[in-house]
Chains A and B, each alone.
Chain A
Amino acid sequence: MNILQTRNITKQYGKTKAVDNVSMAIQKGDIYGLIGKNGAGKTTLMRMITALTFANNGELELFGQTSESGLNNARRRMGSVVETPALYPNLTAQQNLEYYRILRGIPDKSAVNNALQAVKLTDTGKKKFKNFSLGMKQRLGLALALLNNPDFIILDEPINGLDPMGIVEMREMIKNLNAERGITFMISSHILSELSLIATRYGIIHDGRLIKELTEEELREQCQRCLSVKVDDTAKCANILETVLNTTKFKVVGDNEIRLYDYFDNSSEVTFQLNANGVRVSALSEIGDNLEDYFVNLIGGEHCA
């Protein structure tokens, strides 16, 4: 079941397309990692989903709803922290959540304490939001997102500015909420190594366009370990791999490189056979992409995210 689906959604500011014809789907139970450079369109996309801005073209579907009132009803099943957690600076954590509890018409008064407990913020007492550390603010933002017991949470850069302990805590919280409560997440982050530890699906957005969507398995496949063999003749090398070394687990990359997904434990045999059959090996090394490398390669290596 799709929690969120966009169809050719476009947002334009003047002549600039911040989001350009994006069609994507998030399924129930996903932790969807949205990846992109600064200004790629991640936040604009999230802002459209959360009704902070509106698309010029295209259709947004949330929990099967597409009409304006239907989308508003669907958003009641959602929690979000877009950009930075924005709450009232002169209110305490408890008061801020109580305000939103009343506003959202949540009858259960214990919802406030439950949300605070879930993010371990029950002991802040009379400390006002303006005096919170960034990590506490992020956690209170997550508590607010959890207040109405949502089915879907959108988090924009949730680990921005957190210390290493805070990052681990946030990661664990997201994983637990996904596993225990079945909450679907859409998360954007610049810290791709972190995102790769929790996301189950990925969407890569570049210059407003969604250039790739892939699952965790697909990414693992794309980023798997291999032997990079630099040779003078890739065609001849491919032939030897197939006929002499009996493997088809390889891929030709460029004019003089072959990536071999086999023989990790016996790379000397590869070198020996290639040399013996007249292929000159200039380099052989074990490599493995991570999400960062994959992303950089995909968008053309202009910048790291």
Chain B
Amino acid sequence: MRNIIKADLYRIFRRFGVYITFAIFIVMTIIQVAGNGTFGVHFFPQPIETIDEIAYYYDNDGNIIGEYNPKYARIIQTDDGIEFESIDPYNPTKTGKAAPIILAGYTDNLIYFLLPFIVFIIAADFSHGAVKNVFASGTNRGKYYFAKQILVAGASVVLILLNLIIIIVTAIIVNGFGGSFDLEFIKQLAEIYLPQLFLLFTFGCIGTFLTFTFKSTAIMNTVYIVYTLAPMIILLMLSQKYDSLYNYDLILNMKSFAYIGQNVLMNPSLTKAVFLGGVYISACTIGGILLFRKAEIK
């Protein structure tokens, strides 16, 4: 398995595409930081009617009990319950220390950046037929599958770390760090981003499963994008009637961890999200290996 990983790393970093993807990712992350206030782009107040961002807040049982605009307010937990604290849009508080907390709700774009990496890591083997040489020389299919899954997990870690670093560095350059880089800060980042990383890895497992099942880059890309978008759209359509459906969408669960950073554990069930991710990972991995074990290699 170690040899497969080493060989793939050798191959992937000899592809021009991987550097282009990283470059696009870096630019997009910087734009994201800018677009969300650090550069003062959105510092003009908007009338409340044009609010296009809505965040939900929940009771202790995880039920949605209201909504608010995170651009202009944040929720704090007091002894009397939940209160809103207004965010002054004229006051650039988005320092290097604050930026990753504020932008934690935008990590869902990472699931789309994971896609080209799944292509580089797995789909390329199938689209060029090079995978034939792997199995013809006695490589165990299960080990091959796991090795690919580990590489995709590695890509998830790299993406989330790179995302954090770019956000912090960009915000520091513009607004300074705004505090001390202490253990508390690292703990806070870990609280938000580790569960997000876990759910990002879940998407990696889904992508791995789809690639091994369809063995085609085009089909895998299409199904993956539809898979990530469709539940959200369907949930939005049905949400009025079936609020509890939100519990099953991975992207919404990823987003929910953003509110840990605002000192309000909006989603009380970290366990639920971890369980949900665990179910997806197990189902995709076991299903993927079972399907692939005796699959035809074209």
Give the interface of A toward B (CB within 8 A): 47, 50-54, 69, 71-76, 78-80, 82-84, 86-91, 95, 98-100, 102-105, 144, 148, 154
Q: Is there a chain A Cβ closer than 8 Å to B78's Cβ?
A: no
Among B124-138, those with CB < 8 Å from A are 124, 128-130, 132-138
- Please measure, in the bound complex, the distance between the C-alpha atom of A82 and the C-alpha atom of B16, giving whole angstroms: 29
0/1 string, B101-145, CB within 8 A of A gives 1: 000000000000000000000001000111011111111100000
Separation of A148 and B140 alpha carbons in the complex (Å): 17
CA distance A80 to B10 in the complex (A): 23
**A75 CA to B132 CA in the complex, in Å?**
12
Q: A140 CA to B270 CA in the complex, in Å?
A: 53
Does B50 sit at the interface, judged by CB under 8 A? no
The verdict on B48 contacting chain A, using a C-beta distance below 8 Å, is no
Asked if B6 is at the interface of the complex by the 8 Å CB criterion, the answer is yes
Residues in B neighbouring A50, C-beta threshold 8 A: 132, 135-136
Most central of A98, A99, A103, A154 by chain B CB within 10 Å: A103
* B297–A76 touching, CB < 8 Å: no
Task: Please indicate the chain B residues that have their CB under 8 angstroms from the CB of A154 in the complex.
Answer: 136
Given contacts A83-B129, A83-B132, A100-B137, 9 further A-B contacts (CB under 8 A): A52-B135, A78-B137, A80-B137, A84-B129, A90-B14, A99-B10, A102-B3, A103-B4, A148-B137
B296–A52 contact, CB under 8 A? Answer: yes
Closest residue on chain B to residue A50 by CB atoms: B136
| A residues less than 8 Å from B137 (CB atoms) | 75-76, 78-80, 100, 103-104, 148
Q: Would you call A102 and B138 a contact (CB within 8 A)?
A: no
What is the chain A residue whose CB lies nearest that of B125? A88
Q: Are A78 and B138 in contact (CB under 8 A)?
A: yes
Q: Is the CB of B11 within 8 A of A72?
A: no
Interface hits, B7-51 → A, CB 8 Å = 7, 10-11, 14-16
- On whether the beta carbons of A53 and B296 are closer than 8 Å, the reply is yes
A75/B10 in contact, CB under 8 A: no
- The reply to whether B133 and A86 form a contact with Cβ atoms under 8 Å apart is yes
Is B136's CB under 8 angstroms from A82's CB?
yes
Bound complex: CA A74 to CA B138 (Å): 7
Q: Which of A71, A74, A82 has the most CB of B within 10 A?
A: A82
Task: Pick the residue among A51, A91, A95, A98 that contacts B136 (CB under 8 A).
Answer: A51
In the A-B complex, the 8 residue pairs with the closest CB atoms: A86-B129, A75-B138, A103-B7, A50-B136, A102-B7, A76-B138, A52-B297, A72-B138
Question: By the criterion CB–CB under 8 Å, are A88 and B133 in contact?
Answer: no
Interchain nearest-CB distance for B17 vs A (Å):
8
In residues 71-126 of chain B, which contact A (Cβ within 8 Å)? 124
Known contacts A53-B297, A82-B132, A100-B133; decide if A88 and B124 are in contact (CB<8 Å): yes
With A and B bound together, what is the CA distance between A74 and B129 in angstroms?
A: 22
**Complex CA distance for A91 and B11, rounded to whole angstroms:** 8
23 sample A-B contacts, Cβ–Cβ < 8 Å, listed by A number: A47-B297, A50-B135, A50-B136, A52-B135, A53-B297, A72-B139, A72-B140, A78-B137, A79-B137, A80-B133, A82-B136, A83-B132, A86-B133, A88-B11, A89-B128, A90-B14, A90-B15, A99-B7, A99-B10, A100-B137, A103-B3, A103-B134, A103-B137
User: Number of B interface residues, CB 8 Å?
Assistant: 25
- B294 interface residue per 8 A CB criterion: yes
Residues of B within 8 A of A83 (CB): 129, 132
> How far does the Cβ of A104 sit from chain B's closest Cβ, in whole Å?
6
**Distance in angstroms between the alpha carbons of A87 and B133 in the assembled complex:** 8
Pair A104/B128 contact, Cβ less than 8 Å: no
> Residue on B with the closest CB to A86?
B129
Chain A residue with Cβ nearest B144: A103
Residues of B within 8 A of A78 (CB): 136-138
Contacts of A95 in B (CB 8 A): 11, 14
Complex partner residue of A87 from B7, B15, B130, B297, CB under 8 angstroms = B130
Residues of chain B contacted by A54 (CB below 8 angstroms): 294
Distance A78 CA – B137 CA, assembled complex (angstroms): 6
B136–A52 CB distance below 8 A: yes
Write the chain B residue with the least CB distance to A75.
Answer: B138
B108 vs chain A, min Cβ distance (A): 31
Neighbouring B residues of A86 by C-beta, 8 Å: 128-130, 132-133
CB distance from A179 to the nearest CB of B (A): 24
A102: which B residues are within 8 A, CB to CB?
3, 6-7, 10
Please name the residue on chain A nearest to B6 by beta carbon: A102
**A88 and B7: CB pair below 8 A?**
no
CA distance A153 to B7 in the complex (A): 23
Q: Which residues of B contact A51 (CB under 8 A)?
A: 135-136, 138
Q: Quick check: B130 and A88 within 8 Å, CB to CB? A: yes
**A residues in contact with B16, CB < 8 Å:** 90
Nearest-CB residue, chain B, relative to A148: B137
Q: Report the separation of the CA atoms of residues A91 and B3 in the bound assembly, to the nearest whole angstrom.
A: 19
**Which A residue's beta carbon lies closest to that of B129?**
A86
- For residue A91, which residue of chain B has the nearest CB? B14
Measured in the bound complex, the distance between the Cα atoms of B102 and A262 in whole Å is 98
Complex: A78 Cα to B139 Cα, angstroms: 12
Fill in one digit per residue for B131-171: 1 if any A CB lies within 8 Å of its CB, else 0. Answer: 01111111110000000000000000000000000000000
| A87–B137 alpha-carbon span in the complex (Å) | 14
Bound-state CA distance A82–B124 (Å) is: 19
